Chain A
Amino acid sequence: MVILFALVAVWPKIIPFIGGYTGLAIEMVIFAIFALGFDLLLGYTGILSFGQAAYFGLAAYTMGIVCINFKVPILLGMLIGILIGTLAAVIIGLLIIRKTGIYFAMLTIAFGQMFFFIASRWKSVTGGEDGLTGIPRDSISLGLFNWNLKNDLSFFYFVFVFFVAATLFKYWLVESHFGQVLKTIRENEKRAQVVGYNVRRYKLYSFIISGVFAAVAGTLYGMFLRYIFPQTLDWVRSGNVVIMGLVGGLGTLFGPILGAGVVTYLMNFISYYTKYWQFFVGAIFIIFILFFPRGIWGFVQKKR
């Protein structure tokens, strides 16, 4: 894990050699946080959601709205954004966690699209299709300590702090009693219940925590672009995080991080050369499902 952190820490220095730039490195790390949370849900608990972008985008929008309209400091704006995103996950989770499998997945899409349409139609608040521009990202100060975020590189390290925290938290979580119970739910939900675990509550917590990860990533994404638009909430983005998890390897610590990096990089790289980039991303996805069903990291683990 130390190697991972060291590697990510110097990543902005390495990425130019593979045709990237600091901004791309930032995006990779933000999506790694998003994918870490998603993996908790699908990889460890065995619940498929196609609506995780809702909490990602909702948090970003909330932060944008309070920061632009009410001149709230950016850190407080982030906090409010994350809280609102989490709150949405709690409410939606309570409503839909009793459903399983395909029905659950469909409901997550439905709720995700609901937020998408609100964002694209409620022009006076969200800026509609044009999105919300001018999210501030200048400097933060905590007492004596001052951190200028205008520069992409320094913002990278701001994101890096969250990434380290998210990775450590996820690691601690899946190794804990809680994480072990999630695994038994994935393996055999009915049995987990009959040995005395309140399965529905565990599933709900897993869903909410996954929502928190998404919300954190969402606010960072809004700050990164200084701009937020309805597609951030779209189910296409929810689908992307599913792809990241599958490509990297679900149910592992490093898999989703790797997957987020690879998929973000490929999308960027291919779209630079052709406007049909989505076709190639789809093809890569299919190849992974067919030949590496356990993702890159699962494949590496098997080889060792």
Chain B
Amino acid sequence: MKLLETTGLGINFGSLEALQNVNFSIKPGELRSIIGPNGAGKTTFFNLLTGVHPPSKGQIRFKGEDIAGLKPHQIARKGIGRSFQITAIFPELTVFENVLIPAMYYHKGSKARDRVMEILEEVGLADKTNEVAGNLSHGDQRHLDIAIALTCKAELLLLDEPTSGLPPEESLRTVELINKLKNEKGYTIILIEHKMDVVLKVSDAITVLYFGRKLAEGTPEEIQQNEEVQKAYLGGMEKGFSLSQKKGERAKSTKREILRLEKVNTYYGESHVLQDISLMVREGEIVSLLGRNGAGKTTTLRSILGLTPPRTGVITFNNETINGKPTNRIVKSGLSLVPAERRIFQNLTLHENLELPFFLKGIPAQEKREQLEQAYEYFPAMKDRSHHKGNRLSGGEQQMLAVARALMGHVNCMLLDEPSQGLAPLIVRHVAEIILEINKAGVTILLVEQNALMALALADRVYVIDQGQIVYEGTPQELLSDQELSQNLLGV
């Protein structure tokens, strides 16, 4: 007896076959993970199952009934709940209302309230019922997203990257929740996830999607040993981070200081976020700034760029004091940012996104052409996609575009904010290799990461930030050789 079964499922977006001929089935009580590179069609698969897009071909059977072509609300009422990759909650309502209003469709009166408390208990938010959802921490918002999915008397849960953007210890909390939902509450779960440690820990079986097709299916062990999967997706990265290029080939750095922060203090309103941060980057170096969620990593980058100007302290770039200057002037002097979550302009084409920085910087046409060509050389895959709009690009493509965009103009120091977030293991390595290549071409890099393994593999020197203070400074080798220290600071 299958709970859900698809046969020959497919959908086209224009000429793009986003998903083709997917045969999939899941038994009641099973936990199945779907993995695959960015753009493989994982979220599209969820969109078909939940009726967001009607399939172009094929059937979807839920409890024996064909549900293909039904509207999303009709499918929800049949008992398929879904959480979202990008947190989808009702930000201005309280936690309680967030769950209550959906639950009211399925339960009447006080029963609805009882059910809400039960759900909030399950996801660990029972003590936060009256908080406004938008003010919750990212981790709690991710759990609230799952809580909303549980309201519709769900038998089948579709979880779309529930740990995305969470640091290791919070991912662990989510893994516990998923295990509880499966083992104690008896939900059948389909999980999309990039973090292989999570996938291997919780899955009964794994389905691998690759460019819209099913590449492989089997137990976690079988998938890990599957050669095709290794080649297309994992690349050995599930066991730890490795770079194919050697760091030794890099040009020597010149020892000249290019960026320096001296006792920088930054506030958000009254909260003292950065406390006496001092750090230094030499020309040609790759420096990683590591730390947990909320430690002050992004704020450090924002302070440098003048987006959140520091209250006290000095920041110098190329021997010039830059704190207090407006952001556009700072960017013009050769610093650029690759923001977290990429911030691609969704309605502009890839090419237009790339061209944007030139308007600001007033660079001659000849030079602009050369730089654009250079960008397409770094990222050959972008060439075919250059006329696609930002919102048609996969996560990995958006990340490459964000990096390429930050390279345009006269850039000699690049700040990267969590470039590995939400990317498939193999793509993370690809991005890391491109960072190395850019650095070889003479661009200094300051990298902020939660993915410690990637950051350590790339960096010449490392700073660790915790609760707004620099708590460690040294080389990656030193940090890794001190087991206790790296365990404490990074959880690796």
- Measured CB to CB, the residues of A under 8 A from B are 177, 180-181, 183-184, 187-188, 190-199
Among B71, B97, B101, B149, residue most surrounded by chain A Cβ atoms (within 10 Å):
B101
Q: A193-B73, A198-B71 are in contact. List 12 more A-B contacts (CB 8 A).
A: A180-B104, A184-B93, A187-B90, A191-B89, A192-B102, A194-B72, A195-B76, A195-B148, A196-B76, A196-B106, A198-B73, A199-B73
- Measured CB to CB, the residues of B under 8 A from A are 50, 52, 71-73, 76-77, 81-82, 84, 88-93, 97, 100-102, 104-106, 148-149, 151-152
- Asked, given contacts A187-B93, A188-B88, whether A193 binds B101 with beta carbons under 8 Å apart, the answer is no
In the complex the two chains form, is B152's CB within 8 Å of A196's CB?
yes
Residues of A contacting B50 in the complex (Cβ-Cβ under 8 angstroms): 194
- Asked, given contacts A195-B148, A198-B73, A199-B73, whether A187 binds B106 with beta carbons under 8 Å apart, the answer is no
In the complex the two chains form, is B105's CB within 8 Å of A194's CB?
no
In the complex the two chains form, is A191's CB within 8 Å of B148's CB?
yes
- Asked, given contacts A190-B88, A196-B73, A199-B73, whether A180 binds B148 with beta carbons under 8 Å apart, the answer is no
Count of chain A to chain B residue pairs whose CB atoms are closer than 8 Å in the complex: 64
Q: Closest chain A residue to B106 by CB distance?
A: A196
Residues of A contacting B101 in the complex (Cβ-Cβ under 8 angstroms): 177, 180-181, 183-184
Residues of B contacting A184 in the complex (Cβ-Cβ under 8 angstroms): 90, 93, 101-102
| Bound complex: CA A198 to CA B76 (Å) | 10
| Bound complex: CA A180 to CA B94 (Å) | 12
Question: Can you offer 5 A-B residue contacts whose CB atoms are under 8 A?
Answer: A180-B104, A181-B104, A191-B89, A193-B71, A196-B102
Taking the closest CB of chain B, its distance from the CB of A215, in whole angstroms, is: 29
Taking the closest CB of chain A, its distance from the CB of B382, in whole angstroms, is: 29
| Bound complex: CA A183 to CA B92 (Å) | 9
In the complex the two chains form, is A197's CB within 8 Å of B90's CB?
no
- Asked, given contacts A193-B72, A195-B152, A196-B77, whether A183 binds B105 with beta carbons under 8 Å apart, the answer is no
Among A191, A192, A195, residue most surrounded by chain B Cβ atoms (within 10 Å):
A195
Taking the closest CB of chain B, its distance from the CB of A182, in whole angstroms, is: 10
Residues of B contacting A183 in the complex (Cβ-Cβ under 8 angstroms): 90, 93, 97, 101
Taking the closest CB of chain A, its distance from the CB of B80, in whole angstroms, is: 9
Among A181, A184, A188, A196, residue most surrounded by chain B Cβ atoms (within 10 Å):
A196
- Asked, given contacts A196-B77, A197-B73, A198-B73, whether A191 binds B93 with beta carbons under 8 Å apart, the answer is no
Taking the closest CB of chain A, its distance from the CB of B70, in whole angstroms, is: 12
| Bound complex: CA A120 to CA B435 (Å) | 66
| Bound complex: CA A196 to CA B84 (Å) | 15
- Asked, given contacts A180-B97, A194-B82, A195-B148, whether A187 binds B91 with beta carbons under 8 Å apart, the answer is yes
Taking the closest CB of chain A, its distance from the CB of B83, in whole angstroms, is: 9
| Bound complex: CA A251 to CA B303 (Å) | 36
Q: Closest chain A residue to B92 by CB distance?
A: A187
Residues of A contacting B102 in the complex (Cβ-Cβ under 8 angstroms): 184, 192, 195-197
In the complex the two chains form, is B104's CB within 8 Å of A194's CB?
no
Taking the closest CB of chain B, its distance from the CB of A247, in whole angstroms, is: 20
Residues of B contacting A198 in the complex (Cβ-Cβ under 8 angstroms): 71, 73
In the complex the two chains form, is A188's CB within 8 Å of B89's CB?
yes
| Bound complex: CA A188 to CA B98 (Å) | 11
Taking the closest CB of chain B, its distance from the CB of A202, in whole angstroms, is: 10
| Bound complex: CA A215 to CA B270 (Å) | 50
| Bound complex: CA A193 to CA B72 (Å) | 6
Residues of A contacting B72 in the complex (Cβ-Cβ under 8 angstroms): 193-194
| Bound complex: CA A153 to CA B231 (Å) | 84
Taking the closest CB of chain B, its distance from the CB of A238, in whole angstroms, is: 26
In the complex the two chains form, is A177's CB within 8 Å of B91's CB?
no
| Bound complex: CA A183 to CA B90 (Å) | 8
In the complex the two chains form, is B97's CB within 8 Å of A195's CB?
no
In the complex the two chains form, is A191's CB within 8 Å of B106's CB?
no
Residues of B contacting A180 in the complex (Cβ-Cβ under 8 angstroms): 97, 100-101, 104
| Bound complex: CA A195 to CA B82 (Å) | 8
In the complex the two chains form, is A191's CB within 8 Å of B76's CB?
no
Residues of B contacting A177 in the complex (Cβ-Cβ under 8 angstroms): 101, 104
Taking the closest CB of chain B, its distance from the CB of A184, in whole angstroms, is: 5
Residues of A contacting B81 in the complex (Cβ-Cβ under 8 angstroms): 195
| Bound complex: CA A136 to CA B127 (Å) | 62
- Asked, given contacts A183-B93, A187-B93, A191-B148, whether A196 binds B105 with beta carbons under 8 Å apart, the answer is yes
Q: Closest chain B residue to A199 by CB distance?
A: B73
**Which 3 residue pairs spanning A and B have beta carbons closest together?**
A187-B90, A195-B102, A196-B76
In the complex the two chains form, is A194's CB within 8 Å of B76's CB?
yes
In the complex the two chains form, is B84's CB within 8 Å of A191's CB?
yes
Residues of B contacting A191 in the complex (Cβ-Cβ under 8 angstroms): 84, 88-90, 148
Residues of B contacting A196 in the complex (Cβ-Cβ under 8 angstroms): 73, 76-77, 102, 105-106, 152
Residues of B contacting A192 in the complex (Cβ-Cβ under 8 angstroms): 102
Taking the closest CB of chain A, its distance from the CB of B49, in whole angstroms, is: 11
Residues of A contacting B105 in the complex (Cβ-Cβ under 8 angstroms): 195-197
Q: Closest chain B residue to A196 by CB distance?
A: B76
| Bound complex: CA A197 to CA B448 (Å) | 41
Residues of B contacting A194 in the complex (Cβ-Cβ under 8 angstroms): 50, 52, 72-73, 76, 82
Residues of A contacting B152 in the complex (Cβ-Cβ under 8 angstroms): 195-196
Taking the closest CB of chain A, its distance from the CB of B147, in whole angstroms, is: 11
Q: Closest chain A residue to B97 by CB distance?
A: A180
| Bound complex: CA A79 to CA B91 (Å) | 41
Taking the closest CB of chain A, its distance from the CB of B233, in whole angstroms, is: 28
Residues of B contacting A187 in the complex (Cβ-Cβ under 8 angstroms): 89-93
| Bound complex: CA A195 to CA B107 (Å) | 13
- Asked, given contacts A180-B101, A181-B101, A199-B73, whether A188 binds B82 with beta carbons under 8 Å apart, the answer is no
| Bound complex: CA A195 to CA B80 (Å) | 9
